[in-house]
Chain A
Amino acid sequence: MSTQAVALKASTEEWRLPDKGKVGIACLIVAESAIFIIFVLAYVFYMGKSLSGPTPAQVLSVPIVGTICLLSSSLTVHFAVVSLEKNRIALSNAWLALTILLGGIFLGGTAIEWRKLIVDDGLTIRTNLFGTTYYSLVGLHASHVVVGLILLISVLLFGLAGKLDQSHARRLDVLSYYWHFVDAVWVVVFTVVYILGR
């Protein structure tokens, strides 16, 4: 707040603004994080408060393979973006396919885990507070993986159909941010559910 004059230079200056896609995805990530935080809080709040079994210690095993796959898929998607930026479409497609494969393995792992929990251990969302919070938190994350996979698969299909080129790199970049976010959330979920919660 002052009366000092400021030079009138705006019109000659180059006018640069942030990228729409990046700001947009950042906003989406903030909003989604808020949702996840609440689910994580609920999980933590109800840790050890179930009135009946089974307890996490009895039935949960650490999903090492799935976790490794999901985390490394962050790298592969990054390579896909880099390749596309360099207009190496085939390479980008390959990295994309690998990303999808890794994401798929992760989801498959979750599916097997859930099958075991439901069929062998008799733990459903109705069983106790652990079931309630476990399925909702892990399920919410898995649903984000599914959304990410659907988007990645559609990009891959465009790529295979030869409709992808360098100019789409920015959009794929934005998508990759979403995928990184899903990964980051998994780190939190993993820590809370499989390490602290057991």
Chain B
Amino acid sequence: MSLVSLESASAASAGISSSLTQLRSLAAWASGAPANIFAPQATPAHTIFGLSLLVIAIVTAIFLAVGGLLLYALIRFRSRPGDDAAEPRQIYGSNQVEVLWTVIPVLILVVLFLATIRVISETERARKPANALDVIVLGHQFWWEYRYPKQGFVTANELHIPVSDPKAPRPTYLTMSSVDVDHSFWVPRLAGKMDLIPNKTNVMWLDPQTSGLYLGQCAQYCGMEHAKMLIRVYVDTPEQFAAWVEAQQQPAVNDPRVAAGKEIFLHTACVNCHTVRGTSAHGVFGPDLTHLASRDTIASGVVKNTPANLRQWIEDPDSLKMGSLMPKMNLSPHDLDQITAYMESLR
């Protein structure tokens, strides 16, 4: 019995994967919804998508069957104006039908369950190839820290990973934890979510097959600015990725034109929380700023990284992201301009 349903389950999912391609046209719709779970672009999201179609098909069938019977009964057995006053025939039960509607759901569940454990083990027990890229993801209230241990640098808020060609896969393994409260890493088009929990490490992997930008956000309530803990994953071609790593490995640019700004920065409390590699700023409470200017956005994707936004951020973080853990520093307009210029130079 279980063998048969295993086969039929895999047959069903096989059939579904073939029709996946057509359903990919859903992805066209997804351009208006960049975090659509039905427009998968990496294997984990993809397998889930296949399974979800099976599940949806089954529950829809159950709904139509049971709902249809219900509707039929309501119409057929409604009392009509001309009815006599007699009560309908009193029926107290029947063991046969009782058994019937116990057994049928059990059979359906066997199919569902077998299909489920297959996907669970495909995703959670996947063997890690030797060439996999390792990234450590640390959740902070309310931003993301990304460490590339083998490459030897730290960055924040914008994750860069290489595209993984199905013929020569190069997945990225994310090892995740949190420094404060629970968070959850969710980029719907790449994979399901995984929580970041203090005192616990979780692992997930991504193997995006198309380069581009993928959006997501923190999916575990983590405090005031949970809504603005956005995720940006840049899937680069191998060449782009190599170049990016190369650039990130450099210490911070030292541009004499902004020396004044650098001086102010290094003598302000900024250094307690931020690191700029190659300077005396070694704080770890806030994001690493070594290559801040190479990022498209600031404050975990909340605003574009423009000089005006950056200045506003440094002047009063709450005006862009109320409740962020970076304090207002009460800098003079002059100092602000200088620091902003310095930040702008950190390519």
Contacts and interface: CB of A to CB of B under 8 A. Distances in A.
Question: A and B: direct contact (Cβ < 8 Å)?
Answer: yes
Interface string A1-15: 111000000000000
Nearest to B97: A1
Give the size range of A's interface with the partner: under 10
A170 to B, nearest CB: 40
Contacts of B98: 1
Interface in B117-160: none
Interface string B71-98: 0000000000000000000001111001
Contacts, number: 7
Contacts of A2: 92
Interface of B is mostly: loop
A1 B98 CA distance: 10
Nearest to A3: B92
Interface in A1-53: 1-3
A194 B94 CA distance: 56
Contacts of A3: 92
Contacts of B95: 1
Nearest to B92: A1
A76 to B, nearest CB: 47
A66 B149 CA distance: 56
Contacts of B93: 1
A97 to B, nearest CB: 51
Contacts of B92: 1-3
Interface string B94-107: 11001000000000
A11 to B, nearest CB: 22
A174 B94 CA distance: 43
A1 B93 CA distance: 6
7 contacts: A1-B92, A1-B93, A1-B94, A1-B95, A1-B98, A2-B92, A3-B92
3 smallest beta-carbon distances between A and B, as pairs: A1-B93, A1-B95, A1-B92
